[in-house]
């Protein structure tokens, strides 16, 4: 029982780490990938998106506040314009380790969304662009059809995103 709990805690921790990286990736991609910039700008100057895992998190908040891009880890119940909430940590882990695409996650009912569903496609594309920068192609080609082209090479992307 204790071991199971620790295991779940570890998984939540891992998802949290990837979320932090993803947040940095989104911010860096906003700078170097005009497709990502266009998609984020299309959501408006005050649109926040929270990705979280029920029932306690971890949670990532990103988007634009007063016209400026930001990303940060946040509390489970921090409000946001659009909230994408995984029903459990296993589904989140599959997604955040590049083993399940967003379309597949949606098809498998792995998450709920609160807010304007018409903005979800833009978020999906942002994720696809950023994931295709962060993950090698042998992973992304399993979860995306087609895989978007990289804007910069993987090493440069990681260096850029870690120091942002």
Number of residues this chain uses to bind another protein (CB under 8 A): 24
Stretch that binds another protein, among 1-9, 44-52, 69-77, 119-127 (CB under 8 A): 119-127
107 contacts another protein (rule: CB under 8 A):
yes
Which DSSP symbol is given to 152? S
81 contacts another protein (rule: CB under 8 A):
no
* Cα 27 to the center of its chain, rounded Å: 11
Which DSSP symbol is given to 119? G
Query: Which residue from 76, 124, 150, 164 is in contact with another protein, where contact means CB under 8 A?
Result: 124
Q: In sequence order, what E strands does the chain have?
A: 47-53, 59-65, 68-74, 82-86, 111-114
User: Which residues, listed in sequence order, are joined to residue 141 by a DSSP beta bridge?
Assistant: none
Before 58, cis peptide (omega within 30)?
yes
Indicate the residue among 89 and 161 with the shorter CB distance to another protein: 89
115 contacts another protein (rule: CB under 8 A):
yes
List residues binding another protein (CB under 8 A).
102-104, 106-118, 120-122, 124, 128, 144-146
């Amino acid at each position: 029982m204790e071991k199971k709990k620790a295991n779940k805690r570890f998984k939540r921790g891992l998802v949290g780490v990837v979320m932090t990286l993803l947040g940095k990736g989104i911010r860096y991609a906003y700078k170097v990938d005009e497709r990502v910039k266009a998609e984020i700008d299309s959501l408006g100057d005050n649109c926040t998106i929270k990705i979280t895992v029920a029932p306690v998190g971890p949670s990532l908040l990103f988007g634009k506040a007063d016209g400026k891009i930001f990303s940060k880890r946040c509390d489970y119940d921090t409000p946001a314009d659009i909230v994408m909430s995984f029903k459990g940590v296993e589904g989140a882990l599959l997604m955040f380790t590049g083993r399940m695409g967003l379309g597949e996650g949606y098809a498998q009912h792995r998450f709920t969304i609160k807010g304007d569903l018409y903005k979800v496609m833009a978020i999906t594309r942002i994720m696809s662009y950023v994931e295709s920068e962060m993950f090698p192609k042998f992973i992304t080609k399993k979860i995306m059809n087609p895989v978007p082209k990289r804007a910069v090479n993987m090493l440069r992307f990681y260096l850029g995103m870690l120091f942002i």
